[in-house]
C-alpha cells in the first residue's frame, strides 16, 4: 500500500467521522436544544461547546486529522500521478477544506465565541432572545451545508478508493 492509498483511506475515515459529528448536531443536538427556552438554550450550547473549545483530544484528533489527511491526499496524489490525473482528488479535497473547514472557521467559530461570551445571569430575557435569534438560524443553516458537503466528500473519496 502506497502513501496515496493510505492518505485516501485516512481522509475517507476522518472526513466521514466529521460528517457524523456535524450530522449529530443537525439531527439530534440542535433540534433537542431548540426545545429549550432562550436562557437554557444558550447555557446548554455554552456547556456543550466548551467541551470542544477546551481541546477535547479525540475531537481535535478527528477534526484536525481530517484537514491534515486531506492535504496529504492532495499532495500525494499530485506527486504520485501528476495533476492531470489527480484532478478529482484535488477538487474534492479543496471543496472539503473550503466548504467544511472554511465554514467552520468563518461562521461557526465566531458564532460559538459570541454565544460563549454571553453572561446569561446578567442578560435580560429580551436580549437573550435576540442573541439566540442571531445565532441559531445561521448556525443551523451553515451546519446543514457543511454536513451535506462533508457527506458528499466522504462518498466521493470512498468511490475513488473503490476504483483504484
Domain count, the chain: 1
pLDDT tens digits, one per residue of 11-31: 999 999 999 999 999 999 999
Q: Which residue from 94, 75, 91 is spatially nearest to 3, judged by alpha carbons?
A: 75
- Its pTM stands at 0.94
For the chain, what's the residue count? 164
| Cα–Cα distance measured from residue 41 to residue 33, given in angstroms and rounded to the nearest whole number | 6
Q: Which residue from 20, 147, 8 is spatially nearest to 88, judged by alpha carbons?
A: 8
- Write out the residue range of the structural domain in which residue 51 sits: 3-163
| Cα–Cα distance measured from residue 67 to residue 59, given in angstroms and rounded to the nearest whole number | 13
Q: How many CB atoms lie within 10 A of CB 11?
A: 29
Stretch 64-78: mean pLDDT, rounded? Answer: 97
Q: pLDDT averaged over the chain?
A: 96
Amino acid at each position: 500500500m502506497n502513501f496515496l492509498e493510505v492518505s485516501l483511506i485516512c481522509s475517507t475515515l476522518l472526513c466521514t467521522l466529521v460528517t457524523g459529528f456535524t450530522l449529530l448536531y443537525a439531527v439530534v443536538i440542535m433540534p433537542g436544544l431548540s426545545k429549550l427556552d432562550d436562557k437554557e438554550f444558550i447555557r446548554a450550547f455554552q456547556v456543550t461547546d466548551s467541551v470542544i473549545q477546551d481541546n477535547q483530544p479525540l475531537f481535535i484528533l478527528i477534526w484536525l486529522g481530517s484537514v491534515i489527511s486531506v492535504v496529504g491526499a492532495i499532495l500525494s496524489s499530485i506527486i504520485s500521478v501528476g495533476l492531470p490525473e489527480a484532478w478529482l482528488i484535488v477538487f474534492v479535497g479543496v471543496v472539503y477544506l473550503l466548504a467544511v473547514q472554511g465554514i467552520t472557521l468563518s461562521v461557526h467559530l465566531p458564532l460559538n465565541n459570541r454565544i460563549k461570551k454571553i453572561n446569561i445571569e446578567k442578560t435580560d430575557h429580551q436580549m437573550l432572545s435576540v442573541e439566540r435569534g442571531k445565532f441559531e438560524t445561521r448556525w443551523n443553516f451553515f451546519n446543514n451545508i457543511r454536513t451535506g458537503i462533508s457527506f458528499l466528500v466522504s462518498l466521493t473519496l470512498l468511490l475513488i478508493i473503490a476504483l483504484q
